Structure 1
């Protein structure tokens, strides 16, 4: 694989790079300010990505209080690459604490948020517009009608979802299909060797209904780079620096540290870095259209791009899968091959299957 090998995003004709450039750290304002980069620093990262053939850019109105969009818009215009880029932005988070309608997924807020994003980005449309997260309030049909109207107005080319329950994604896509509304083509979710819970429902939903999964935090919040050691865990956690991904509130367990050892062993056998193993694994998993990678400097991004330059052999991938597997819980235990075996008459004979037959019981990952 290479960055200029493009893949269709979900059930659409939109071609995107296997790695998307995350720009959450473009700018030095707002919530993300401590990790932010100046415009000159962001320019070097952006140019490294596009010069390698990348075309998939991810931002949001919430990132660095809108500064990410402003910087990104200037960089794209400066490079003259607007039509080549697949520009993605997102909206849900409140942009005005004093206004109850300045957040969430209501029609009022989404239209306002997109208009303001277009102004900051210096463009009259975005290629992909996502809900940033489920707001637990707005009816899904209101969201769909709004996205459809924005597409018909030419302000967005495609629509998608980010960080929503699997049932919500299924309902949204089903209603869109039933009423000939703009379909969802993308489902953005946290996914990595350390965080595989979306495989229970989200990935199957995406595969069945035509949504391309874009995986954010494929490095597990930096944990999978190997920069932290088990012996340092107590001290770093006490400083608030090793309490896991802020979005999930995860704390690292003995099982996680054991996984890190496995990732290190695989990296040594392949002659690559641990981070490259993690990015490669996430980007090539079933249902994943693209993995979102950020960078604090060009060299770091170059290393992530190089993660597309090798293949993880089947036996090593199986080792990673086993070490990182999420045991099925509750009713999901009933869908494993082991449980299904109890339901089949062991003496029954199975005839030859017709062409195109798909087994009803798949291997549990």
Structure 2
């Protein structure tokens, strides 16, 4: 799988990762399935897995699914609380689950970011955290995210990026490039709102065999994107599904955080306009 530099950290990461929102929030019966997903990721040359305390049991399930392959996985998780003591407990559990180290600890949705930065830097000095990041899903918070980026204390950001959520192109992606930050792109398929896609014949020339793959290629055509941790079900089964809308999205479970806005684009216009935009971008090999 193709790799890209992770900002100016000196390491490279595979450009396709795994997101655990909802997919890994399962009981004991779901652990074998989660293990199979991790197996598929690693078998394809992937490494990056993204999680959060917000995702219910996902962090613990990921710990079991990775087994003894800790060195093969780049764990990107988050601290998500305004209570600093609870933040310490969250990170403590993560250290127990992930072999005493966290590759990328992100401040989820900028909650108490000033206070958490001090604590994360101390943990980095102690060798518990390798890199520090910050995330937000809403364009209305990008001004504050820019403020955090300009502190010079981050190694990476995680933001939404897909053909209907392009706000990051205006300021955040150029700033991340200037500051040498890695960029993780969330919601490459719009949390399911971009499904179902256009007919198969309209995909000709995009270099993909499904709408899901076309969207992944669209995202990765911007070299400033280091990696996007997508829903592995969509990635692994995109060809088999023929671009059909995932079952979770059909049931109304889009995977977006509560309060996340949905793109208000008419269905027909959404695909004709975005398909033209996609076709103008260079193809990217994701194998």
- Number of equivalences: 245
**Please, which of 107, 116, 125 is the counterpart of residue 143 of structure 1?**
116
Quote the Cα distance in structure 1 between the aligned partners of 2:183 and 2:196.
25
Q: Report if aligned partners of 2:164, 2:274 keep a CA contact under 8 Å in 1.
A: no
Please give the secondary structure, in 1, of the residue aligned with 2:75. Answer: strand
Closer, same or farther in 2 for the Cα pair 1:131/1:60, shift >3 Å?
Answer: same
Deviation at 1:158, TM superposition (A): 0.5
Closer, same or farther in 2 for the Cα pair 1:298/1:163, shift >3 Å?
Answer: closer
Deviation at 1:174, TM superposition (A): 3.4
Q: After TM superposition, what 4+ stretches of structure 1 lie above 4 angstroms from structure 2?
A: 301-304, 321-324
Q: Deviations over 1:66-102 (max 9, x none)?
A: x21112112222xx3212221111121xxxxxxxxxx
Closer, same or farther in 2 for the Cα pair 1:319/1:299, shift >3 Å?
Answer: closer
Name the TM-score, length of structure 2 as normaliser.
0.75
Equivalence for 2:164: 194
**Please, which of 147, 164, 174 is the counterpart of residue 204 of structure 1?**
174
Q: Report if aligned partners of 1:206, 1:212 keep a CA contact under 8 Å in 2.
A: yes
Quote the Cα distance in structure 1 between the aligned partners of 2:278 and 2:218.
9
Higher relative CO (Cα under 8 Å, sequence separation at least 6) belongs to 2
Please tell me whether residue 10 in structure 1 is matched to residue 7 in structure 2. yes
Q: Deviations over 1:168-206 (max 9, x none)?
A: 344334334xxxxxx312111111012112212221221
Quote the Cα distance in structure 1 between the aligned partners of 2:90 and 2:38.
24
Quote the Cα distance in structure 1 between the aligned partners of 2:194 and 2:10.
33
Quote the Cα distance in structure 2 between the aligned partners of 1:74 and 1:321.
38
Q: Deviations over 1:246-272 (max 9, x none)?
A: xxxxxxxxxxxxxx58xx665133462
Quote the Cα distance in structure 1 between the aligned partners of 2:8 and 2:240.
30
Equivalence for 1:87: 75
**Please, which of 56, 81, 90 is the counterpart of residue 48 of structure 2?**
56
Quote the Cα distance in structure 1 between the aligned partners of 2:212 and 2:92.
37
Please give the secondary structure, in 1, of the residue aligned with 2:120. Answer: helix
Deviation at 1:303, TM superposition (A): 7.1
Deviation at 1:139, TM superposition (A): 6.2
List runs of 5+ in structure 2 lacking aligned partners: 242-272, 282-287
Deviation at 1:151, TM superposition (A): 0.4
Closer, same or farther in 2 for the Cα pair 1:297/1:288, shift >3 Å?
Answer: closer
Q: Deviations over 1:283-309 (max 9, x none)?
A: 2214211122113388427879xxxxx
Q: Report if aligned partners of 2:213, 2:235 keep a CA contact under 8 Å in 1.
A: no
Name the TM-score, length of structure 1 as normaliser.
0.60
Quote the Cα distance in structure 2 between the aligned partners of 1:195 and 1:174.
23
Q: Report if aligned partners of 2:15, 2:226 keep a CA contact under 8 Å in 1.
A: yes
Please give the secondary structure, in 2, of the residue aligned with 1:123. Answer: coil
Equivalence for 1:71: 61
RMSD: 3.1
Quote the Cα distance in structure 1 between the aligned partners of 2:34 and 2:239.
14
Q: Report if aligned partners of 1:61, 1:117 keep a CA contact under 8 Å in 2.
A: no
Closer, same or farther in 2 for the Cα pair 1:268/1:224, shift >3 Å?
Answer: farther
Q: Report if aligned partners of 1:27, 1:39 keep a CA contact under 8 Å in 2.
A: no
- After TM superposition, list the pairs within 5 Å mapping 1:208-227 onto structure 2: 208-226=178-196
